[in-house]
Amino acid sequence: MSVDFRRGDLPTLPDSAPVTLIDDEGHRAADARDGGFDFPGADELKSLYRKMVVARRFDVQVTTLTRQGRMATYPSALGQEACEIGATAALRAADWLFPTYRDTIALLTRGIDPVDIFPSFRGDWHCGYDPSAHRTAPQATPLATQALHAVGAATAAKLKHDDVATLAFLGDGASSEGETHEAFNFAAVWQAPTVFMLQNNQFAISVPLAKQSHARMLADKAVGYGMPGYRVDGNDVAAVYAVVKSALGRARAGGGPTLVEGLTYRIEAHTNSDDPSRYRDDADVATWKTRDPIERLEKYLLSTGLLGEDDRRSIAAEAEDLAARTRDAVSAETTLDPLEMFDHVYAAERPEMRRQRDFLAAELARSDEATGANA
């Protein structure tokens, strides 16, 4: 609100060298690139590693199920685990997450059961989990719309004097949408406790960033709104976690919003119905595969003795367990009640809705009768 908008020092252009805490080789980055952010503790790093490994196994499993035709569609986040997990792991339980369609693995860090994540991708229902219970909005498909919801929820939290921040995921394509501008502007003017995690994975379906934006980098966009922006190595989970955690802390303390650009790459296709060979070079993909976020952290953890064989075994077991549970859940026969379509349109009952529900109920009854007669 305008009353408690305190104009502090206006931010300057972010550093174009991404914040990096652990480099490609798995070493602690040189001080110059760490931006002064807190290096995560050993337990935090191990937890991030575990979450990334499990999330990737899940992601690969769902992609496989999609190829087998057991899921309608699935936009993979393979290679983006550091952004997805690093950013959401920085949230507290009371904070809210506003994910997009690609941020499925982020939902795992919010404690949402995979069984409740599938319905929208399998075609059962649009959102299978209770957003309030997990403080996680439904995955948004129209680009950038959810960023405004994040600003609204953050502002409501601020009005209620709750110590709560919100995190919105965006992609590089979404940065072109008008609603991204509105979200950044509202958040800055209202000093909303919101962090925008912009995953720059280089392509919006087939359109490369160079055709999407003429800006020096997407993190620069923050400056025009009067909020700080950071470019972070999006394949370095330690850096993503540290920067987002710092931004969330600043937001909760009344410091307003932050834009974080995570520089990363989409290893898989946009979705299962996309053919990336038509628009990108295999050599680029190969290069980015050498920058894998999981391998990078693994190298660091192994070289520092933080990760033992027991850990790896238990993490692998957890990942396989989740994959198996995912396969079983997706493959399980589900019974959908078509009449439920009418139950959640309005809070207040409507005569016309009741008539249409009754119509379908009668049709279903006739169909059951016919089936029974033929049996």
Partner 1 sequence: MSAHIDAPAEPGVAATPTSMQAALNAALRDALTEDPSVVVYGEDVGPLGGVFRVTDGLAGEFGQERVWDSPLAEAGIVGTAIGMAMYGMRPVVEMQFDAFSYPAFQQVVSHLAKMRNRTKGAVSMPVVVRIPYAGGVGGVEHHSDSSEAYWTHTPGLTVVTPSTPSDAYSMLREAIASDDPVIFLEPKSRYWPKEELALPVRTEPMCTARVVREGADVTLLAYGATVKTALEAAELGGQEGLDVEVIDLRSLSPFDDETVDKSVRKTSRAAVVHEASKFVGYGAEVAARVTERNFYYLAAPVLRVTGFDIPYPSPKLEEFHLPTAERILDALDTWDWEA
Nearer CB in complex with partner 1: 316/362: 362
* 149 touches 98 (CB < 8 A): yes
Binding to partner 1 (CB under 8 A) within 51-110 occurs at 96, 98
Angle at 279 between CA 235 and CA 282, to 5 degrees: 55
Binding mask 152-191 for partner 1 (x = CB under 8 A): xxxxxx-xx-----x-----------xx--xx-xx--x--
Among 45, 140, 219, 259, binds partner 1 (CB under 8 A): 140
Nearer CB in complex with partner 1: 279/359: 359
Token pair of 143 as six digits: 């680009």
Provide, rounded to whole angstroms, the least separation between the CB of residue 265 and partner 1: 29
Closest CA to 243 of 253, 256, 229: 229
Q: Which stretch binds partner 1 (CB under 8 A): 150-158, 280-288, 294-302, 358-366?
A: 150-158
Among 3, 93, 283, 286, binds partner 1 (CB under 8 A): 3
Among 22, 148, 219, 222, binds partner 1 (CB under 8 A): 148
- Count the residues of the shown chain that bind partner 1, applying the rule CB under 8 A: 49
Closest CA to 301 of 10, 49, 3, 132: 49
Q: Long-range CB contacts (< 8 A, 24+ apart) of 297-305?
A: 297/22, 297/26, 297/45, 297/48, 297/49, 297/52, 297/82, 297/237, 297/238, 298/26, 298/49, 299/25, 299/26, 300/22, 300/26, 300/27, 300/28, 300/45, 301/45, 301/46, 301/49, 302/26, 303/26, 303/27
Token pair of 367 as six digits: 């169909």
Q: Is 113 in the site for partner 1 (CB under 8 A)?
A: no
Nearer CB in complex with partner 1: 156/285: 156
Nearer CB in complex with partner 1: 54/140: 140
Binding to partner 1 (CB under 8 A) within 212-271 occurs at none
Nearer CB in complex with partner 1: 186/300: 186
Nearer CB in complex with partner 1: 15/113: 113
Give the separation between CA 103 and CA 118, rounded to whole angstroms. Answer: 13
Among 350, 359, 364, 367, binds partner 1 (CB under 8 A): 350
Nearer CB in complex with partner 1: 5/279: 5
Q: Which stretch binds partner 1 (CB under 8 A): 26-34, 87-95, 128-136, 260-268?
A: 128-136
Q: Which residues contact 42 (CB under 8 A, 6 or more apart)?
A: 306
* 88 touches 110 (CB < 8 A): yes
For the beta sheet containing 96-98, the strands, ordered from the edge strand earlier in sequence to the opposite edge, are: 96-98, 166-171, 194-200, 258-263, 229-233
* Residues labelled as active-site residues: 266, 270, 279
* 102 touches 257 (CB < 8 A): no
Measured from the Cβ of residue 194, the count of other Cβ atoms closer than 10 Å reads 35
Give the separation between CA 341 and CA 126, rounded to whole angstroms. Answer: 11
Q: Which stretch binds partner 1 (CB under 8 A): 28-36, 37-45, 288-296, 341-349?
A: 341-349
Q: Which stretch binds partner 1 (CB under 8 A): 80-88, 100-108, 136-144, 270-278?
A: 136-144
Which stretches of the chain bind partner 1, using CB under 8 A?
Answer: 1-3, 96, 98, 125-128, 130-133, 137-138, 140, 142, 145, 147-157, 159-160, 166, 178-179, 182-183, 185-186, 189, 340, 343-348, 350-352
